[in-house]
Amino acid sequence: MTPLTGGTRVQKVRGLLDAVRAEGRTALTAPEGKVIADAYGIAVPGERLAKDVDEAVSFAARFDGPVVMKIVSPDILHKTDAGGVMVGVAGAADVKSAFHTIVDNARAYAPDARIDGVQVQELLPQGQEVIVGAVTDPTFGKVVAFGLGGVLVEVLKDVTFRLAPVDDGEAASMLDSIRAAEVLRGVRGAEPVDRTALAEQIRRVSELVTDFPEIAEVDLNPVIATADGAVAADIRVILAEGAPKPRRTFTREEILGTMRRLMEPRSIAVIGASNEAGKIGNSVMRNLIDGGFSGEIHPVNPKADDILGHKAYKSVTDVPGEVDVAVFAIPAKFVAAALKEVGRKGIPNAVLIPSGFAETGEHEMQAEIVSIAEEHGTRLLGPNIYGYYATWQDLCATFCTPYDVKGGVALTSQSGGIGMAILGFARTTRTGVSAIVGLGNKSDIDEDDLLTWFGEDPNTECIAMHLEDLKDGRAFVEAARATVPKKPVVVLKAGRTAAGAKAAGSHTGALAGDDAVYDDILRQAGVIRAPGLNEMLEYARALPVLPAPQGDNIVIITGAGGSGVLLSDAVTDNGLSLMEIPPDLDASFRKFIPPFGAAGNPVDITGGEPPSTYEATIRLGLEDPRIHALVLGYWHTIVTPPMVFAELTARVVAEFRERGIEKPVVASLAGDTEVEEACAYLFERGVVAYPYTTEKPVAVLGAKYRWARAAGLLT
């Protein structure tokens, strides 16, 4: 059936929904569902509502073949349970008898139910049962779902989600995103289903829920997919109980304007600055000064004239000139009053280190400061954070110690503990950092604001975020989509599992969405999801170091056959694939390796080889334009000691880089403890190298590839 055009169909469905609402219902009847399906061009079987037994017989006669008969009652949702469904009824006598049985069953099941009649419906063809639906996710709003129908898939939870609305391409991608995707392509000689028709059903459902935010749920279950089309056997529509609360939003320009003043301030006030060692207001002052911040630093403290050599002010309103950031280092109960002064002074950013707000159950106190901030147009970072660093500004507005390795990764964390882990890891591995930001309770500024800023920040090449929830999943996806084409975004979403989500609930009071929804939608947004804390940290450290791959052909070159096997496992585990080496390239590799070494892929140069064999094969790997990335497996021997391998590898990689040939090179070093120094040496020179693991170097390469794919760099 051809769908109605935009305006008409919205009007028609609006009228229907209003009528349902007027009756105080939230569940639509099947005939109401059919009206909606027809309006949106969602294919459903031919059907009529029979009010009595004669109508049933007459309608059944109009359809070619047997029919399905179903009770129609606004009070009976689970029709099968009520004995209200009969399938394959044929002939006038059977239709008559079925009508009576269904109505009797329904009366017995729910004596008070209003019975509108019996739906007489065309019997659907045999085909693959699938489910198409839409739900309202607490984080992401309207989301469409697709999966195979039947008990097995309900049990195996093989289902995929996308933000609604989806376009044709996104809808089609859902058919490939389930584990059992092969079934749709036809197995055991079955014909493949009509993918276009199926994708179209998904797209239209996504349009429907986008047009009507009050629709909480749509279920087409099952949709019968055949080689010739896709028809929904049943459509179920449920309305929401209430309307969602709109969230304050900012334009991209507004966000960038405030963020620039937060991350590149010229003047900072420290509210609660102190001369007393051990106080947070003292640590923050000390870190700002010792960190080398070159802008103005204005301590605010009603009881001091001078703090650490800087003139102190009784109130922030006394500070001369424009101030970009007010850092709060005072107890929670004093924050509201000070925030009003900050607002009056016209300071655009308040960094709230104090804890004692929503995370300790003080929701009202948090609501109060949010309301003060909104009134004055002040944006809030925190409360309940360790502060923030901006290394390229030498700006260390935290109570931790300054960090001095400037680099390309911006890290954010919702939790202070994770922030400390970020700091320690960065320091010990000398990770190059552009910023570390605590988000804490996220009363205002959250991941999407920071993502928008770091996306534009020229010092930031990669963004890594630890989060337990998203206040606004759509805003995050929008920011991620704008950022990913420029630089990788890594997310560690804590509370992945039921146990984790429960812990998250008690920690932040945030409603953790279903992880399957997060997983699909973050992937759809092009975000690299880290499976754990250490992976997030390693990705953050390594991604800015590795150049982007320009194609899928990965070659392993190894001195240890055993490492070659494990590296191959890791390649597959990370969704990468080993290049099929063409005969001429194979012959070229064979020139350098012993006759019993294995060419192919992995290229096994064997264990006893001198540095020249490593060098020649690595050179070949970088030189040949058909190869896009190298995974090196080094084996510690007397003939080629670790630092000799590290030096030659770094030298060759640098030489090619000067010639404009940049390929990602990662390495696993198997050997005695000298390999640790060799790995550090390599890492600093752009080769991502790890000792005692074959998994990590390949996992990092896999993360880089996932980004390159999302950014459209690989076709």
Which residues between 504 and 563 bind its own copies (CB under 8 A)? 504, 506-508, 531-534, 537, 556, 558-563
323 vs 397, which CB is nearer to its own copies? 397
160 vs 568, which CB is nearer to its own copies? 568
* DSSP label at residue 629: E
Torsion of CA 283, 289, 290, 294, to 10 degrees: 140
d(CA 140, CA 162): 9
Q: Which residue has the tokens 């945030």?
A: 510
Q: Smallest gap, in angstroms, from Cβ of residue 336 to its own copies? A: 19
The binder of its own copies chosen from 169, 428, 458, 660 (CB under 8 A): 428
Nearest residue to 453 (alpha-carbon basis) of 414, 484, 476, 483: 483
| Residues of span 565-604 touching its own copies by CB under 8 A | 565-573, 577-578, 594-596, 598, 600, 602, 604
SS3 sequence of 410-422: EEEECCHHHHHHH
Q: Smallest gap, in angstroms, from Cβ of residue 207 to its own copies? A: 30
Stretch that binds its own copies, among 17-25, 136-144, 194-202, 689-697 (CB under 8 A): 689-697
77 vs 498, which CB is nearer to its own copies? 498
CA angle 586, 589, 592 (to 5 degrees): 150
Binding mask 395-424 for its own copies (x = CB under 8 A): -----xx-----------xxxxxx-xx-xx
SS3 content of the chain, % helix, strand, coil (to 5): 40, 20, 35
Q: Smallest gap, in angstroms, from Cβ of residue 423 to its own copies? A: 6
180 vs 644, which CB is nearer to its own copies? 180
315 vs 606, which CB is nearer to its own copies? 606
434 vs 601, which CB is nearer to its own copies? 601
Size of the site for its own copies (CB under 8 A): 105
Q: Which residue has the tokens 């109570």?
A: 399
d(CA 83, CA 80): 5
CB pairs under 8 A, 24+ apart, for 500-506? 504/468, 504/469
Q: Which residue has the tokens 């930031």?
A: 460
d(CA 313, CA 218): 60
By CB under 8 A, tell whether 367 contacts its own copies.
no
By CB under 8 A, tell whether 290 contacts its own copies.
no
The binder of its own copies chosen from 676, 709, 713, 714 (CB under 8 A): 676
339 vs 560, which CB is nearer to its own copies? 560
| Residues of span 86-145 touching its own copies by CB under 8 A | none
> Please, what is the angle between helix 335-345 and helix 363-376, to 10°?
10
220 vs 554, which CB is nearer to its own copies? 554
Nearest residue to 236 (alpha-carbon basis) of 211, 215, 218: 218
Stretch that binds its own copies, among 53-61, 233-241, 351-359, 473-481 (CB under 8 A): 351-359
Q: Smallest gap, in angstroms, from Cβ of residue 179 to its own copies? A: 6
317 vs 401, which CB is nearer to its own copies? 401
The binder of its own copies chosen from 499, 583, 658, 660 (CB under 8 A): 499
Q: Smallest gap, in angstroms, from Cβ of residue 8 to its own copies? A: 39
Binding mask 311-350 for its own copies (x = CB under 8 A): ----------------------------------------
| Residues of span 267-286 touching its own copies by CB under 8 A | 278
Torsion of CA 409, 413, 417, 421, to 10 degrees: -10
| Residues of span 210-269 touching its own copies by CB under 8 A | none
Q: Smallest gap, in angstroms, from Cβ of residue 18 to its own copies? A: 35
The binder of its own copies chosen from 41, 46, 74, 500 (CB under 8 A): 500
Question: 667 pairs with which residues across the strands?
Answer: 632, 689
383 vs 691, which CB is nearer to its own copies? 691
The binder of its own copies chosen from 402, 455, 621, 671 (CB under 8 A): 671
20 vs 198, which CB is nearer to its own copies? 198
Which two tokens mark 677? Answer: 């120094």
275 vs 401, which CB is nearer to its own copies? 401
Q: Smallest gap, in angstroms, from Cβ of residue 283 to its own copies? A: 8
The binder of its own copies chosen from 119, 355, 393, 398 (CB under 8 A): 355
Q: Are strands 67-72 and 117-122 parallel, antiparallel or unpaired?
A: antiparallel
d(CA 97, CA 27): 29
Q: Smallest gap, in angstroms, from Cβ of residue 580 to its own copies? A: 11
Which two tokens mark 553? Answer: 């052909």
Nearest residue to 378 (alpha-carbon basis) of 414, 412, 416, 338: 338
| Residues of span 630-649 touching its own copies by CB under 8 A | 633, 635-636, 638
* DSSP label at residue 313: B
Q: Smallest gap, in angstroms, from Cβ of residue 499 to its own copies? A: 4
Alpha helices (runs of H) in 509-641, residue ranges in sequence order: 515-524, 533-542, 561-573, 583-590, 611-623
Q: Smallest gap, in angstroms, from Cβ of residue 201 to its own copies? A: 21
Q: Are strands 325-328 and 267-271 parallel, antiparallel or unpaired?
A: parallel
- For residue 233, the Cα-to-chain-centroid distance in whole angstroms is 33
5 vs 506, which CB is nearer to its own copies? 506
Q: Is the dihedral of CA 632, 634, 640, 641 positive or negative?
A: positive
CA distances, 376 to each of 228, 271, 315 (Å): 60, 18, 17
The binder of its own copies chosen from 316, 395, 521, 670 (CB under 8 A): 670
By CB under 8 A, tell whether 496 contacts its own copies.
yes
Nearest residue to 126 (alpha-carbon basis) of 193, 33, 30, 215: 193
421 vs 482, which CB is nearer to its own copies? 421
Stretch that binds its own copies, among 4-12, 372-380, 652-660, 672-680 (CB under 8 A): 672-680
Alpha helices (runs of H) in 377-526, residue ranges in sequence order: 416-429, 447-456, 473-483, 498-508, 515-524
| Residues of span 138-197 touching its own copies by CB under 8 A | 148, 150-156, 158, 179-180, 182-183, 187-188, 190
Nearest residue to 207 (alpha-carbon basis) of 245, 241, 163, 251: 163
E strand or H helix that includes residue 155: helix 151-156
d(CA 663, CA 660): 10
> Please, what is the angle between helix 533-542 and helix 416-429, to 10°?
40
The binder of its own copies chosen from 36, 60, 269, 675 (CB under 8 A): 675
Integer-rounded Cα Rg, in Å, for the chain is 31
Q: Smallest gap, in angstroms, from Cβ of residue 468 to its own copies? A: 6
